[in-house]
Chain A
């Protein structure tokens, strides 16, 4: 029996489907959220994931709260779970970068993990799978190894708390004699074959912003005389494409490390099965995707011209327009990931995945199109359920 936390999130839901597909029995810890009882939320997700009724019989749903000691469970429920579980997959996480929400992010990413570890220590569980991030090394550049790290500085509260979570899990699992596997995915996007996704942040966000701006100024041109569009230099070309002058800062040899959700799930499954002794595993792409490529895909997909990639030197001293400012603002938060030169070592994960013939696909224009088709079709998540 496996206890899974975060099973209603993007990665967790896919892991739940994977485990059920493998015939595992899963206790899914979920909570009441946004006016929906846990059972309803999980039911909708399983529908979306296409988990059939037969497999669903192997799910035991437990309403609990990660941020409470004992996960907010009654003693009887805790005792029952403790008796049943052999493994724990801890996916629950806050992905916020917001410094002002540091206390909440810490409460989930560190405090919540502590509560789950507490349960693990009191149970028969002997394997703990912690879903972390490839970016726990913070501001470190160069080679990042598959090992527990203690960096001196982080880019945001998310990185910091995920790193602290690794330390905590590492110490307490060692003390309790529990084998720990740490999974470190880079930036995860939709399914490479279907384009389906549950989450539309990270990679999707700047693309969505570009579409928002395009629609905004097209409407200004069509409905309001186009004065505001003209101020930005936005115009419609005769062929139906929109010219939108926008500069995005890039760096030579840098890019963004992205993996599709299907690769992540396959990699997770293989490492879980193939690395019984535990360890730290990077689930990353061996090639960075260039920002220039994403710009090209975006322009082609949305029929936009005028977006250009510029180096910091090219942008310096040349005042931009508000469109540059919007993307500049976005880059303030995501620059470490979009202008990334880190090399993620895969000395442990690599051989396992290679043995199984699992390889991360590059983000091609075809995959990009499938993912964006789906994103637009479901209103960037608003019409998912």
Chain B
């Protein structure tokens, strides 16, 4: 058992399983052993779990663990990757794990060798010896996620198939042996849906991307992440509607239908793909475009199983123009923000639109939690900003937004504010800004074009200015990142969504998503108020997340977030009680109110036509 250093263990146990260490989203490289061996156990996320598991005496030192520990090169890539979104520094955990194993071996310890049993031999016969394992050091990293309402479920085997035929064979074998199975995309699910006492299939190795420009489509394997696909498509000057960067494209379509701010223009669910390939529960391969395929386009307001294991999705690619850029329109009043978002939808202005709360904005902008926390206070208290309408559009769209809304925060001002953020929070400057206020909030004065030179002079924006807000040893790297234009480019940031994981930097995030009628502010306000009331009653941190108009402003998707420390049993109990209240309340509301659908029921029905759940 690890005699754990409290600080190191705290870091290890706080891993959110967002799998951001499994994609090269900063352009700084990828964890070398993870890239080579594919099991999540070899990525920093898995090593964090292993360190926690050893401290809790859940696993012995095995041959697999020794290999995992010894293959870590201590390159340090994970430290920046993880810090950028969570503020955690995992390198010390990697170091501690290596040292623990080295000390164990030095002390004469003999790693346990786990012999293969018959099912494992047969699984290896299908996928190859390297890609199926029963080593506890591998299994434990597929046994849980920071979902506080599910207990750990240790699988017997983890399998990494390489082809759809291998997936089909594994399913048939599982049926033959009576073994349950679950499939994981990128080895992570924050809602705990991907565990099994039998076989876990990790699709990491199936990473093909075939772009067909003539058909405006890309055929994507189930191990491909949103980030990787967007990156490939972006190189061709195109765009795809994807999910969180580390989420797999196929898995996300099946689970949620893939929604994002781009769903404003590109839709969701069946709008996003041309065809999909599945392995069904009998181990047979079929495509949705087959005449005999099951009707997955229908929607049932219930929790039902997925149509199978997705082995390929042919997704739609979207055109772009060179003049796309972002704007933000600040608001004090929520209803006014919603009214603008709805108006943009009705008038078909822009490509991506959302109403965002201050927690989102503060965290998007801030490279550290401390800065985000301060900004979250300053935005409403000093500047009078409680919400923003965020939009991406071409120059015609942006001009229209300015005409509709008045002065906006354009990309230039956004860059200035981001790179000068620490000075925006300077007390003397804040005191002066507060003095402007009378009938209208101070932001209205600050964002006027004539104020731009003064803002520039006050904030003195630069990568170094912003980097000064993180730990000293990371400042050089942060300055390097923020000297790249894309890190302050609203369009790029929104396409690749690399800062959205910062939402849960303070605590693990529980996102509640509800489709709502956008012309019913009373319903939207009621939903927000009720989420707030339930959270407050339980003593949970909570915040409005975002609202994105859909289908020409007739409907929208609303996110309200709860934040908990997933390692704290008291907080786990609180969220359990809150969820017990939320389910029946939202079910009742959905029954009474046209246009309200809890996303819980869309999970696993992501291939359905959006009309079937938006207009029930």
Known: A98-B437, A212-B428. A326 touches B460 (CB 8 A): no
Q: Is the CB of B440 within 8 A of A99?
A: yes
Measured between alpha carbons, how far is A31 from B427 in the docked complex, in Å? 24
Residue of A nearest to B446 (CB): A329
The reply to whether the CB of A237 lies closer than 8 angstroms to some CB of chain B is: no
Assess the B432–A228 pair: CB atoms within 8 A.
no
Indicate if A143 sits at the interface (CB-CB under 8 A).
no
Q: Contacting B437 at CB < 8 Å: which of A97, A231, A232?
A: A97
A333 pairs with B432, CB closer than 8 A: no
User: Do B384 and A325 have beta carbons less than 8 Å apart?
Assistant: no
Instruction: Give the contacting residue for A99; candidates B427, B429, B438, B456; CB below 8 A.
Output: B438
Query: B432–A212 contact, CB under 8 A?
Result: yes
Taking a contact as CB atoms closer than 8 A, the residue among B435, B441, B453, B456 that contacts A205 in the complex is: B435
Instruction: Choose among B437, B438, B456, B460 the residue with the greatest number of A CB atoms under 10 Å from its CB.
Output: B438
In which size bucket is the chain A interface? 20 to 34
CA distance A216 to B429 in the complex (A): 11
Q: Are B454 and A323 in contact (CB under 8 A)?
A: yes
Q: How many angstroms between the C-alpha atoms of A228 and B458 in the bound complex?
A: 10
Contact indicator per residue, chain A 291-332, by CB within 8 Å of chain B (1) or not (0): 000000000000000000000000000001111011001101
* A380 to B448 Cα, complex, angstroms: 27
Known contacts A99-B439, A208-B432, A330-B436; is-contact A382 B454 (Cβ 8 Å): no
Among B429, B456, B460: residue with most chain A CB under 10 A? B460
- With an 8 Å Cβ cutoff, the count of chain B residues facing the other chain is 25
B457 at interface by CB-CB < 8 Å: yes
Given A212-B432, A325-B448, check contact A333 B453 (CB 8 Å): no
What residues of B have a CB within 8 angstroms of the CB of A208 in the complex? 431-432
A229, B438: Cα distance in complex, Å: 29
Judged by a CB distance under 8 angstroms, whether B580 is at the interface is no
Bound together, the chains give a CA A214 to CA B432 distance in angstroms of 14
Contact status A322-B332, CB under 8 Å: no
Query: Least Cβ distance of A139 to chain B in Å?
Result: 13
A220 at interface by CB-CB < 8 Å? yes
Q: Encode B415-437 as 1/0 by CB contact (under 8 A) with A.
A: 00000000000011101100111
Number of A-B contacts (CB under 8 A): 69
Dominant secondary structure of chain B at its interface with chain A = helix
Evaluate contact between B438 and A332: CB separation under 8 angstroms: yes
A229 contact set on B, CB distance < 8 A: 457
A99 to B436, CA, bound (A): 12
Q: Does A156 contact B (CB under 8 A)?
A: yes
Please encode chain B, from 321 to 349, with 1 for each CB lying within 8 Å of some chain A CB and 0 for all others: 00000000000100000000000000000
**A10 → B minimal CB distance (Å):** 16
Residue B486 is within 8 A (CB to CB) of chain A in the complex: no
A120 CB to closest chain B CB, in angstroms? 32
**Docked pose: A330 CA to B434 CA in angstroms:** 10
Residues B454 and A333 in contact, CB atoms below 8 Å apart? no
B227 to chain A, nearest CB (A): 38
A97 and B451 contact, Cβ closer than 8 Å, known pairs A212-B432, A216-B457, A220-B457: no
Minimum distance in angstroms from B455 CB to a CB of chain A? 8
Pairwise interchain contact B453-A228, C-beta atoms closer than 8 A: yes
B5 within 8 A of A: no
User: A209 at interface (Cβ–Cβ under 8 A)?
Assistant: yes
Cα A98 to Cα B438 with chains together (Å): 4
Give Cα A330–Cα B432 distance, bound, in whole angstroms: 9
Collect the chain A residues with CB atoms within 8 Å of residue B436's CB. Answer: 329-330, 332-333
Q: Give the complex CA separation of A224 and B429 in angstroms.
A: 19
Interface status of B452 (Cβ within 8 A of chain A): yes
Q: Given A212-B428, A382-B427, A322–B441 Cβ distance below 8 Å?
A: no
Interface digits, A92-131 against B, CB 8 Å rule (1 contact, 0 not)? 0000111110000000000000000000000000000000
A231–B453 CB distance below 8 A: yes
**Chain A 209-221 near chain B by CB (<8 Å), digits 1 or 0:** 1001000110010
Known: A100-B332, A100-B384, A325-B450. A333 touches B457 (CB 8 A): no
Say yes or no: is A201 at the interface (Cβ < 8 Å to chain B).
yes
B154: A residues at CB distance < 8 A: none
Residues of chain A within 8 A (CB-CB) of B2 are none
Given contacts A97-B438, A329-B436, A333-B437, contact A224 B460 (CB under 8 A): yes
Task: Find the A residue at minimum CB distance from B436.
Answer: A329
A329 to B431, CA, bound (A): 14
- Chain B, range 176-191, C-beta contacts under 8 Å to A: none
Asked if B445 lies at the interface with its beta carbon under 8 angstroms from chain A, I say yes
Whether B450 lies near A380 (C-beta < 8 A) is no
Closest CB of chain B to A315's CB: distance in Å? 14
Q: Which residues of B contact A (CB under 8 A)?
A: 332, 384, 427-429, 431-432, 435-441, 445, 448, 450-454, 456-458, 460
Q: List the 8 closest pairs (A to B, CB-CB), nearest first.
A: A333-B438, A322-B454, A329-B445, A228-B457, A97-B438, A205-B435, A325-B450, A98-B437
- Extra inter-chain contacts (17) besides given A321-B453, A332-B445, CB under 8 Å: A96-B437, A98-B384, A100-B332, A100-B384, A208-B432, A209-B432, A216-B458, A228-B456, A231-B453, A232-B457, A322-B450, A323-B454, A326-B454, A329-B445, A330-B436, A332-B438, A333-B435
List 27 A–B pairs whose Cβ atoms lie within 8 Å, in order of A's numbering.
Answer: A96-B437, A97-B437, A98-B384, A98-B437, A98-B441, A99-B440, A100-B441, A155-B438, A201-B435, A205-B432, A212-B432, A216-B457, A217-B457, A224-B460, A228-B453, A228-B457, A232-B453, A232-B457, A321-B453, A322-B452, A326-B454, A330-B435, A330-B436, A332-B438, A333-B437, A333-B438, A380-B431
